[in-house]
Amino acid sequence: MGNRSGPATDGFAATPSRPAPASGTDRAPVYPPVRERALEEARQRLFASEGPNLLVVEGERGAGRSTFAHALAAAARAEGIGVSFLTCGVEDGRRPLLLALRLVKELERHRQTLPVPRRAGGGAADALAAVELGDRSGVVQALVAALARSAPLTLVVDDAQNADAESLDLLTGVDLERVAPDVRLVVSAVRHGGAERQARGGDAVERLAHRRGAHRAVLPRLERAEVAAVVSRRLHALADPELVRAVHELSGGVPAAVDGLLTAWSRAGAIRALDGRVLLAPGTPPPQLPDDDRFVAALRALDEPGRTVAAALSVLWPLGRKALTHTAEATGLSPAVVDDGLRALLGAGIVVELPGPEGAAPRGWAFSLPLLERTVRDRLGPLERDRLSAAAVGAVDKAKDDTRAGSRGAAAGLLAEADPDTYLPDRLTELNSCLDRPRAVAELVAAADRLHPDADRRGMLRWLRAAVRFAEEPAVRDDLTRQYVGMAYTAGEYEAVRPAAASILRDPAGFGVVALQETAALMAGSVAAAGDRMWLDRLASGHWWQTRGLPVVVEVTGRALALCGQGRWARALTLLAETEREWDDGGDVGVLPALLRAVAELVRGEPERFTRSLARPEVDGLSRWGRQAATLLQVDQLLGAGELLEAGAVLERWGMTERALPPYSLFLRRQMEGRWDDALAVARRLLVSSQAAAPGHHLLPERMATVLLARGHTRGAQQLLDDARGQVTGPAESLLDRAEAELARTLGDLFGAEQTLRRGLKAAAAGAYVYGTDELWAALAEVCLDTGQVAWARECLRRLEGVAKRTGGSRARLLHLRAAARLPEQEATTARDLLREAVDLARSRSQPFETAVTLLAAAPSSHDPAALLHEAYRLFGDVGAPLWRFRTRVAIRESGNSVPGRKEAAAENERLLAVLVAEGLSNRQISSVLGLSGDAVANRLTRLFARAGVRSRAELVAGVRTGHLEC
């Protein structure tokens, strides 16, 4: 490429070998249903007795033309019809009538066995002689004779865009239906349009496709839903929407690119299975296409200046029509030569025009395949990257200055197809030097702040690192490093926090005590959240801090938070009490230790300090990131205690929106709000990025398991809990016991549920903590009532009432009301009053699932059970809890009322049953889950199999797991 160090092909050197792909990734491309329908239509038409005898299959590079043709050939073989393949090479177009000669030879190989008089002529020798003489009529005669003598045959001509135009025109004039009714011709050709089609027979292919009696199959790009079907079938599991989005955007819907992406990411271990789905690990970069890839080969096949212009456009195309001017300036090529390179790229289908308004010139040009664009850009040499990025930065800055674009100025001068949030900062990070460093730092920091918390990892932290690199003053670099630590922590990027925070604590000169204290807290909190036990042990000890000569309050803050992360609440309280004189002076240094003490006391059932801390404004003295971290600590405790509205009030008090919540906090909030699909999406991303297996994230597996169980995913819930075991301590372990007991109870194992709950309560007593025990006592009371242990149930209720009074929590009060109403000796009036209060309390807490469960419990004793049951039924539908919807349908029928939407209810029953089968449950276990007899389950399964068109449980499981059956 022009003006590069080294030869033009250096950027396309062979990529290093990679490990073998995961199982199921190296296979023939998988078609989505829409392609299968097109294939079936073509097959039926092609092999019908009335024809057509000619099928022209067209599509761009990688669209699946060859696969389509091979599938038709396989169908022909299944019908007992012979098949022959011819592939046209790139040089074939320079040899007139070559394809016709090859067709004659192939037809001769499949001639009928009946003797044919020699005077009929038309053999391969005659055809060769005619070709050598340029005798078109002689070639036609030979071809017609060969067709007439052929046995039933399907002739496939692949890559016909490379064929000579003379042969294609000759075929256009042959009446295949009359001459050879048993011969079918399948012609496959690349369809890009532009110069390549004209130069290599494109017009001739077009004429062939339009001849009378021909059938044309054009293979378009895949829509997003079709990509989802391909990914799910290829990886044998439902594809996560984020994975589908990434594959669709990078591949542009081109099947071969979809295939390449999945293979590369699977080999790299970036695609992971979780909860019956396949997901892409957050922040996974697009893979580079290898040298032998068809798209790279098409670019390599171009002469200069095509490759040089492609390299420049990989960086500059978002600048629109001005990209050509900047390409010429950056590469030293003349505008005319750049135009020549662009025409070559358009003709090869590598670049496409972005149309302007009707009748106007194109707005610009972009790569037809985004993945190829990324590959070209990633392979740029450092000098070329720097030069092109400098041109891009200069162009955007000029556009911003010219238009006075304001806060969204990064979008100035860019095409609508470009990403205005990332284009300029990405180009700035690629500069090796920067003339206006202060301006670059300001742009990078502003862009990072706009993108925070950057859930998709589009570049926030990368830009901040570049800002630190560009900063000239030590004080500015220090401030940016602190900002990096704070933004990484509040965005949930915990793995990035520790090294940056440790660099500050190793060299604390120039930082104030409060700044060091905040850094210590963020470091310890991130280590706990990331589950790094080795580092957590180091930070919990005094030695690590003392060797760095840090102030005592810094050590105390970091150590106390690390101890809390280990579940050693009593030790944390002791440390804070022993050092109280060092930090409790009424100044800013006391804010974080005081908050940690309040949280530790809350866990042990002493909520007074924590409650007071919610309204006190001491955090004003902290930095922006310190305030956010302190606020999030309060919010997480409230969400963990089931106090959704109080958590929202704290956020509102400090002006924080949901967008500022890190993933873990966001999951908790959405789960409680009943936005379960959104909550699960956040949780899955956390789990595949290994950010949720730590004490600080103990509620994620517990609450995610509850959601999965409500949807019938028993196996997924169990696996989630098993994976979390041993990763958490203290209250976290006990809450896992609650979820595991709920699973056992659902499967009919009441004894196992009781033992699990007692284990959790025993651990809570040994650790002297109260946090979360309200749910354990309530669940144990319910199990004891189910097993007839009324005396034990009363004891559980007494303990639960004590927790409610001690903590003042409304969740504990609600749980007590619901369970107390079930006591056998409870008078009907008293039980009704308890449940009425429970319903009012549940509604006031604004948590849909919790409210629906309460309504379902209260309905039998209500004066209007139908109203409560229908409200519960609607709420369970809103959150997506089909197992609870099933239970509510049963309750509605038992109350003598009709279920809304009978057809929809029947479909829901079938989907739930299919999910339970896919989870691996036996008929007996399904009976326990649904409360049905064994015969009823067997009858329902028989009907489900018939309606789904499957013959076995294995087929049903495959359909559910790949999304082929909507369950």
Q: Cα angle at 709 between 705 and 710, to 5 degrees?
A: 120
Largest CA distance in the chain: 116
Instruction: Answer whether 730's CB lies under 8 Å from 695's CB.
Output: yes
Predicted confidence at residue 115, as pLDDT, reads 55
Beta strands at 351-354 and 364-367: parallel, antiparallel or unpaired: antiparallel
Tens digit of each residue's pLDDT (9 = 90 or more) over 244-257 = 999 999 999 999 99
Q: Is pLDDT at 12 greater than 60 in this prediction? A: no
Predicted confidence at residue 122, as pLDDT, reads 58
Predicted confidence at residue 18, as pLDDT, reads 29
Predicted confidence at residue 6, as pLDDT, reads 35
Q: Which of 410, 471, 455 is nearest to 689 (CA)?
A: 455
Tens digit of each residue's pLDDT (9 = 90 or more) over 528-541 = 888 788 999 999 99
Q: Is pLDDT at 180 greater than 90 in this prediction? A: no
Instruction: Determine the Cα–Cα distance for residues 463 and 211; give it in Å rounded to an integer.
Output: 57
- As beta bridge partners, residue 85 has 156
Q: Is pLDDT at 728 greater than 80 in this prediction? A: no
- Poorest-confidence range of 350-364, 632-646, 663-677, 845-859? 350-364
Return the structure tokens found at 511. Answer: 């930082």
Confidence of residue 407 (pLDDT cuts 50, 70, 90): very low
Instruction: Determine the Cα–Cα distance for residues 456 and 80; give it in Å rounded to an integer.
Output: 53
- As beta bridge partners, residue 157 has 86, 187
Instruction: Determine the Cα–Cα distance for residues 345 and 368; give it in Å rounded to an integer.
Output: 10
Task: Give the 3-state secondary structure of residue 359.
Answer: coil
Predicted confidence at residue 409, as pLDDT, reads 42
Q: Which residues contact 320 (CB under 8 A, 6 or more apart)?
A: 354, 363, 364, 413, 414, 415
Predicted confidence at residue 767, as pLDDT, reads 85
Instruction: Determine the Cα–Cα distance for residues 598 and 613; give it in Å rounded to an integer.
Output: 8
Of 25-34, 279-288, 843-852, give the range with the top mean pLDDT. 843-852
Confidence of residue 14 (pLDDT cuts 50, 70, 90): very low
Amino acid identity of 187? Answer: V
Q: Is pLDDT at 494 greater than 70 in this prediction? A: yes
Confidence of residue 408 (pLDDT cuts 50, 70, 90): very low
DSSP 8-state class, residue 509: T
Mean pLDDT confidence for 229-250: 93
Confidence of residue 204 (pLDDT cuts 50, 70, 90): confident
Tens digit of each residue's pLDDT (9 = 90 or more) over 282-299 = 889 999 999 999 999 999
Predicted confidence at residue 48, as pLDDT, reads 82
Kindly list the distances between the CA atom of residue 27 and the CA atoms of 21, 150, 631, in Å, as whole numbers in the listed order.
11, 35, 50
Mean pLDDT confidence for 640-660: 91
Q: Is pLDDT at 242 greater than 70 in this prediction? A: yes
Beta strands at 183-190 and 54-59: parallel, antiparallel or unpaired: parallel
Q: Which residues contact 716 (CB under 8 A, 6 or more apart)?
A: 275, 276, 708, 919
Kindly list the distances between the CA atom of residue 42 and the CA atoms of 56, 72, 161, 211, 260, in Å, as whole numbers in the listed order.
10, 8, 21, 17, 27
Kindly list the distances between the CA atom of residue 276 and the CA atoms of 237, 272, 442, 837, 961, in Å, as whole numbers in the listed order.
6, 10, 44, 40, 7
Tokens 């004659």 found at:
104
Tokens 């276990």 found at:
925
**Class of residue 96 by CB neighbours under 10 A (exposed 0-12, middle 13-18, buried 19+):** middle
Binning the chain into helix, strand and coil, the percentages to the nearest 5 are 65, 5, 30
- As beta bridge partners, residue 353 has 365
Instruction: Answer whether 86's CB lies under 8 Å from 154's CB.
Output: no
Tokens 């662009």 found at:
342
Q: Which residues contact 521 (CB under 8 A, 6 or more apart)?
A: 557, 558, 561, 592, 626, 629
DSSP 8-state class, residue 381: -
Mean pLDDT confidence for 599-623: 87
Instruction: Determine the Cα–Cα distance for residues 880 and 901; give it in Å rounded to an integer.
Output: 16
Instruction: Determine the Cα–Cα distance for residues 883 and 224; give it in Å rounded to an integer.
Output: 30
228-260 as b/e: b if 16+ CB within 10 A: bbbbbbbbebbbbebbbbbbbebbbbbbbbbbb
Instruction: Determine the Cα–Cα distance for residues 531 and 534; give it in Å rounded to an integer.
Output: 9
Q: Which residues contact 51 (CB under 8 A, 6 or more apart)?
A: 45, 177, 181, 213
Mean pLDDT confidence for 386-390: 95
Predicted confidence at residue 202, as pLDDT, reads 61
Helices vs. strands in the chain: H and E counts, helices first: 50, 10
Q: Does the bond joining 305 to the residue before it have cis omega, within 30 degrees of 0?
A: yes
Q: Cα angle at 446 between 443 and 451, to 5 degrees?
A: 120
What's the order of all strands across the beta sheet hosting 54-59? 82-87, 153-158, 183-190, 54-59, 214-218
Q: Is pLDDT at 159 greater than 70 in this prediction? A: yes
Average pLDDT, the chain: 88
**What is the model's pTM?**
0.87
Confidence of residue 32 (pLDDT cuts 50, 70, 90): low
Kindly list the distances between the CA atom of residue 804 and the CA atoms of 445, 527, 812, 817, 818, in Å, as whole numbers in the listed order.
47, 33, 5, 11, 13
Instruction: Determine the Cα–Cα distance for residues 641 and 815; give it in Å rounded to an integer.
Output: 13
Beta strands at 214-218 and 238-239: parallel, antiparallel or unpaired: unpaired
- For 209-360, strand residue ranges (E) read 214-218, 238-239, 271-274, 277-280, 351-354
Confidence of residue 966 (pLDDT cuts 50, 70, 90): low
Q: Which of 487, 494, 518, 499 is nearest to 630 (CA)?
A: 518
Q: In whole angstroms, what separates CA 934 from the centre of its chain? A: 39
Using only C-alpha atoms, the chain has a radius of gyration, in whole angstroms, of 35
Instruction: Answer whether 186's CB lies under 8 Å from 71's CB.
Output: no
Q: Which of 652, 534, 517, 654 is nearest to 593 (CA)?
A: 517
Tens digit of each residue's pLDDT (9 = 90 or more) over 52-66 = 889 999 999 999 998
Instruction: Answer whether 684's CB lies under 8 Å from 675's CB.
Output: no
Alpha helix (H) ranges present in 348-491?
370-378, 382-403, 423-429, 437-451, 460-470, 474-490
Tokens 């809304």 found at:
900
Instruction: Determine the Cα–Cα distance for residues 967 and 959; give it in Å rounded to an integer.
Output: 9
Confidence of residue 566 (pLDDT cuts 50, 70, 90): confident
Predicted confidence at residue 119, as pLDDT, reads 47
Instruction: Answer whether 910's CB lies under 8 Å from 944's CB.
Output: yes
Of 132-136, 203-207, 712-716, give the range with the top mean pLDDT. 712-716
Beta strands at 153-158 and 271-274: parallel, antiparallel or unpaired: unpaired
Q: Is pLDDT at 26 greater than 80 in this prediction? A: no
Q: Is pLDDT at 134 greater than 90 in this prediction? A: no
- Poorest-confidence range of 222-226, 453-457, 600-604? 453-457
Mean pLDDT confidence for 721-733: 72
| Residue 55 parent element (H or E) | strand 54-59
Predicted confidence at residue 411, as pLDDT, reads 57
Predicted confidence at residue 11, as pLDDT, reads 36
Of 18-27, 537-546, 703-712, give the range with the top mean pLDDT. 703-712
Instruction: Answer whether 39's CB lies under 8 Å from 71's CB.
Output: yes
Q: Is pLDDT at 200 greater than 70 in this prediction? A: no
Predicted confidence at residue 727, as pLDDT, reads 66
Other beta carbons less than 10 A from residue 574's beta carbon: 14
Q: Which of 489, 487, 476, 484 is nearest to 503 (CA)?
A: 484
Predicted confidence at residue 548, as pLDDT, reads 87
Instruction: Answer whether 29's CB lies under 8 Å from 256's CB.
Output: yes
Instruction: Determine the Cα–Cα distance for residues 47 and 53; give it in Å rounded to an integer.
Output: 8
Predicted confidence at residue 757, as pLDDT, reads 97
Instruction: Determine the Cα–Cα distance for residues 419 and 771; give it in Å rounded to an integer.
Output: 46
